[in-house]
Structure 1
Amino acid sequence: MTYWKHDSAIVDEGAQLGEGTKVWHFAHVSPGARIGARCSLGQGVYVGNDVSIGNNVRVQNNVSVYDAVTLEDDVFCGPSMVFTNVYNPRAAVARKNEYRRTLVREGATLGANCTIVCGSTIGRHAFIGAGAVVQKDVPDFALMVGVPARRIGWMSRYGERLNFDGAEQIARCPHSGDEYQLREGVCVLVKPGKLP
């Protein structure tokens, strides 16, 4: 076994977990789950069958990653944030054949207690603020807050808010040296720096 799990955690036979992944107290990984290397699944985390999790993903305490969710590399899921997979659930109506897929792209952060309504794509390095409710696709690098979530700015790959100025609408991350540009209302990484 190349991963580690706490004695109270359940990893069902058939689940695939990469090297260095840690599964903490009372977590449950279903048999069809595919989880990459160096991930951390916090206390009380549930991972469904039809779930793909990339490398170096952090899923904090009390998060359920339900079927039809894909998390790419370096995604951060804050404590008690919520995924859904049925858009219009009813207890008396079975809708397992109506799951809507959710994709969280590389490096995105999903803040504590936020909700991602199924069928959404969260862009690369987007930042969803604590308690926000996302009901539609989110662009790369977008900073989203509120209910429903709205974009209030842009974030660097390092996780710093970007300030665009000048006619060329250029912003630089002071930590990584990344250079970004606003092009027709979209944030684009034009000159990568170095991440730690």
Structure 2
Amino acid sequence: MLMDLNPRFIRTRSASSSITEAYFVRKIASRPAVAKTLIRKRNRLDAGVSFGVGWRAEPDGLTEALMRTRLSYRLGSGATASEILSFAIEMRATSQDEVTVGDSVQKQPIVVFGTGEIAELADFYFTHDSNCEIAAFTVDAAFLKQREFRGRPVVAFEEVVESFPPDRFGCFVAVSYAKINAVRTEKVAAAKAKGYELVSYLSSQATVFPGFDLEENCFILEDNTIQPFATVGANVTLWSGNHIGHHSTIEDDVFIASHVVVSGGVRVGQGSFVGVNVTIRDHVTIGRKCVLGAGALVLEDQPDFSVVAPRGSERSPVPSNRLRSL
């Protein structure tokens, strides 16, 4: 007997039906969102992980043997379709996530803390590129200025568990680097105190490798490359286009802006902020709560609470309308 993958209502079909092991493999391989959920539960990864064998490629034209190889590679060496199916059924007992082999994938409902620009971006990314669906937004009652945001209700954080209980909804804290990441860190702790499981977003356009462990409340956008043996802590934001070198450690509560180069063996301390286009030399240690300004070139260790602020480019005294070569 084989079963459809619906954790809340698993329907059995006889072996004589059209559902065969080969059909199961092809269905899973042709629906990356389903496979991504299985991957995340097996390896504690989130959506869209690329393990270097072209998972993002369209399955059309691929042989069944190749699809089976890809599944086995992601869900355990030598795993058969039946073993993958057994794992999916086991997942039902421990997860709120919905997984189907049909035409749709039912997503895990979550509540997002915040109604600012980052919350708006989180809504876009989670909606279009994840296994989560935003059911509502929440803010502290003192900052509750609107009852709807992005077509969803906004509720006071003090009362959120009444309408969106943590046994049915996950949570994501969409807050910036305010007060050197302290505000986001505090809200993550508050959400956990209410019993919420914090979810993360990992772009399908980011590149990670086997062994990468996605921690809670991370926001990792497109075109990030996290090399093998690098670790990223909880509540970390990696804006688009960063390079996190091998054997580097990004500690908890860090915010890294775009196009940052973190060379191999670097440690970025808890709560630090790293601005756009910063370059950190290999095996440099950045202390806790440091601020590295845009364009900084960091060649040596920085103690806790350091501020590295390079000067901006100077404006020429010659106005643009007097430039002869342009």
Partner of 1:5 in structure 2?
Answer: 47
Partner of 1:103 in structure 2?
Answer: 267
Indicate which of 291, 295, 303 corresponds to 1:127.
291
Partner of 2:174 in structure 1?
Answer: none
TM-superposition CA deviations, 1:45-91 (whole Å, max 9, x none)? 11111011110000110012121110110011110111122xxxxxx
Q: Are residues 1:47 and 2:226 paired?
A: yes
Indicate which of 280, 291, 306 corresponds to 1:142.
306
Partner Cα separation in structure 1 for residue 205 and residue 302 of structure 2: 32
Deviation at 1:119, TM superposition (A): 1.1
Q: Are residues 1:72 and 2:251 paired?
A: yes
Deviation at 1:124, TM superposition (A): 0.4
Deviation at 1:35, TM superposition (A): 2.9
The 8 Å contact of residues 19 and 36 in structure 1, kept in 2 or not, is answered as no
Partner Cα separation in structure 1 for residue 255 and residue 299 of structure 2: 19
SS in 1 for 2:307: strand
The 8 Å contact of residues 32 and 48 in structure 1, kept in 2 or not, is answered as no
Partner Cα separation in structure 1 for residue 214 and residue 243 of structure 2: 14
Partner Cα separation in structure 2 for residue 33 and residue 51 of structure 1: 8
Unaligned ranges ≥5, structure 1:
86-100, 148-196
Deviation at 1:140, TM superposition (A): 0.9
The 8 Å contact of residues 55 and 72 in structure 1, kept in 2 or not, is answered as yes
Partner Cα separation in structure 1 for residue 296 and residue 47 of structure 2: 31
Deviation at 1:21, TM superposition (A): 1.7
Deviation at 1:146, TM superposition (A): 2.3
The 8 Å contact of residues 280 and 297 in structure 2, kept in 1 or not, is answered as yes
Q: Are residues 1:37 and 2:216 paired?
A: yes
Partner of 2:317 in structure 1?
Answer: none
- CA, structure 1 residues 133+83, in 2 after alignment: closer, same or farther (shift >3 Å)? same
Indicate which of 263, 276, 281 corresponds to 1:84.
263
The 8 Å contact of residues 253 and 272 in structure 2, kept in 1 or not, is answered as yes
Q: Highest Rg: 1 or 2?
A: 2
The 8 Å contact of residues 50 and 204 in structure 2, kept in 1 or not, is answered as no
Partner Cα separation in structure 2 for residue 24 and residue 32 of structure 1: 17
Partner Cα separation in structure 1 for residue 219 and residue 208 of structure 2: 12
Indicate which of 115, 120, 142 corresponds to 2:279.
115
Deviation at 1:10, TM superposition (A): 2.1
Deviation at 1:19, TM superposition (A): 5.6
The 8 Å contact of residues 46 and 214 in structure 2, kept in 1 or not, is answered as no
TM-score by length of 2: 0.36
Partner Cα separation in structure 2 for residue 143 and residue 40 of structure 1: 24
Partner Cα separation in structure 1 for residue 276 and residue 204 of structure 2: 19
Partner Cα separation in structure 2 for residue 128 and residue 115 of structure 1: 10
Partner Cα separation in structure 1 for residue 213 and residue 239 of structure 2: 18
Partner Cα separation in structure 1 for residue 243 and residue 208 of structure 2: 10
RMSD: 2.2
In the TM superposition, 1:166-181 aligns within 5 A as none
Deviation at 1:11, TM superposition (A): 5.3
Unaligned ranges ≥5, structure 2:
1-39, 53-73, 76-196, 312-326
Of Structure 1 and Structure 2, the greater helix share is in 2
Which piece of structure 1 moves more, 18-27 or 72-81? 18-27
Partner of 1:154 in structure 2?
Answer: none
SS in 2 for 1:26: coil
The 8 Å contact of residues 32 and 51 in structure 1, kept in 2 or not, is answered as no
Of Structure 1 and Structure 2, the greater strand share is in 1
